Amino acid sequence: MKTLYLECGMGAAGDMLTAALIDLFKEPEQIIDKLNRIGIPKVKYVIEDSEKCGIKGMHVRVLVDGIEEIPADMDETFAHKETNDHMHNDHMHNDHMHNDHMHNDHIHNDHMHNADINNNHMHDEHVHDHQPGHHAHHHSSMHDIENIIQGLDVNDNVKKNAVEVYKLIAEAESKVHGKTVDEIHFHEVGSLDAVADVVAVCYLIDGLNPDNIIASPVRMGYGHVHCAHGILPVPAPATALILQKMPVYAGELEGEFCTPTGAALLKHFVKEYGNMPVMSIENTGYGMGSKNFPIANCLRAYIGENADSDGMYEKDKIHDKIIELRCNLDDMAPEDIAYATELLMDEGACDVYTLNIQMKKNRPGIMLCCMCKQNEKEKFAGLIFKHTSTIGIREYECNRYILKRENIVIDTGYGKVQAKKSEGYGTKRIKAEYEDIARIAKETGLPISEVRKKINI
């Protein structure tokens, strides 16, 4: 089973999830190019190398009209740094969103006049303090967000997942503010940042196509977060609602470690929480935050095969479809049937065997069964018609389960012995080739059964 495991020991944020998942692909630059072509208005993804505690990973920035949204709780020194410092502070509204942590800044209904709320109007502009990363914006409703997502150049499954994730955020906000989802309005830049994170994660998971997604318990942090219009407890109210029924913990580090977008993405996609299962890891991705802590500030993602209860991986389980061709024979000499059987095997049949059957008029007969690959059934049907007396062949499609096979050579006290090693589905066995066992029996005068015991195969 192909499994995606998310290690959320430093929380979860949309941009950290995006970076970690991109890092799982062989060509991250190509993935970023594809994300930049899906059509989110005004949005550009930028991916950069990042390092935390000596660990290298990736960091994703989302630019809206070339500007990266800066959280209001950043100090003035940080606010005036150049954009290429890209300290997006993943654990201080690191989803590029303010809708949980900055209720008065990102969600318009706290600023709207009562008449505007009651009439479901949207202001055309809402002026912020003019500092880098903050501009005059109009506001977007949940309906506007859905329209943006539906217009993107992604498949229907990605659109469906993105809308459902964003609805989790909107529903949590509506409960916090005592409003309906239709009355919740988001700042344009903040909502586009969030859409970018949500769509990117949905797109990347669709591309990875895991059979199962598992995550560790999620660090929330503790304390308070300073927002544009006040101080909120950690986790912020909407984030706390989304995290309900999910395994979470505060941890020993103060601050905000899980954002609403990160929480909503986990809630939508993750069906199981706990320690990492037994896996054969194919790749590991690191999505880096911006702040520095004594612990590496990253979200780590693993993709690989999950072992079953017997400790076996799907890659070690072989199953395919095979064609079985059958015919009944009652007018052929045994020697001729033996010849046809050997010929079919020599021509590459997977297996050929015969069964004794009772045919019409109580005549004894032989059922000839030839197993072959699907693309060779016409070939073997022709051979059966040519080398037997049948005038009709029945075709059956079968599911076949096969143990993984390997030819090996084993040194014994009687010399080298060829053997076949088979394993899978909780079974392991080694069987010596008959020809070598028979040779040793002839050379030593021992019964074959004794030879098997002595060479212990």
How does pLDDT run across 354-391, given as a tens digit for each residue?
A: 999 999 888 899 999 999 999 999 999 999 999 999 99
pLDDT (tens digit per residue) in 428-443: 899 999 999 999 999 9
Cα first-last separation, the chain: 33
Distance CA(330)–CA(337), nearest Å, equals 11
Provide DSSP, 308-377.
-TTS--GGG-EEEEEEEEEEEESSS-HHHHHHHHHHHHHTT-SEEEEEEEE-GGG-EEEEEEEEE-GGGH
pLDDT (tens digit per residue) in 161-191: 999 999 999 999 889 888 888 877 665 445 7
Nearest to 130 by CA among 67, 85, 66: 67
Do 273 and 329 belong to one domain? no
The amino acid at 4? L
Do 200 and 76 belong to one domain? yes
The tokens describing 246, both together, are 């999910």
Residue 134 confidence (pLDDT): 44
The amino acid at 95? D
Give domain status of residue 314, yes or no. no
Do 192 and 255 belong to one domain? yes
| pLDDT tops 60 at residue 311 | no
Do 441 and 386 belong to one domain? no
Count up the domains in the chain and report the number.
3
Question: Considering the chain, what percentage of its residues have pLDDT values greater than 90?
Answer: 61
Question: Considering the chain, what percentage of its residues have pLDDT values greater than 70?
Answer: 80
Residue 109 confidence (pLDDT): 36
When comparing pLDDT for 408 and 119, which is higher? 408
Do 323 and 383 belong to one domain? yes
pLDDT (tens digit per residue) in 249-293: 999 999 999 999 999 999 999 999 999 988 889 999 999 998 889
Distance CA(8)–CA(362), nearest Å, equals 72
Residue 69 confidence (pLDDT): 67
Residue 345, domain extent: 319-401
pLDDT band per the 50, 70, 90 thresholds, residue 114 = very low
Inter-residue contact 105 to 139 (CB < 8 Å): no
Residue ranges in 226-312 assigned as alpha helix (H): 237-242, 260-269
pLDDT (tens digit per residue) in 121-145: 333 322 233 333 444 445 578 888 9
When comparing pLDDT for 26 and 85, which is higher? 26
- Average pLDDT over the chain reads 82
Do 160 and 302 belong to one domain? yes
| Alpha-carbon torsion angle 190, 192, 197, 202, nearest 10 | 140
Give domain status of residue 311, yes or no. no
Distance CA(137)–CA(203), nearest Å, equals 27
Mutual angle of helices 260-269 and 156-177, in 10-degree steps: 130
Cβ neighbours, 10 Å, residue 416: 10
Do 345 and 271 belong to one domain? no
Do 35 and 133 belong to one domain? yes
pLDDT (tens digit per residue) in 197-244: 999 999 999 999 999 999 999 999 999 987 655 788 999 899 999 999
Which whole-number Å values give the CA distances from 437 to 101, 409, 423, 430, 442, in the listed order? 76, 13, 22, 14, 9
Do 450 and 342 belong to one domain? no
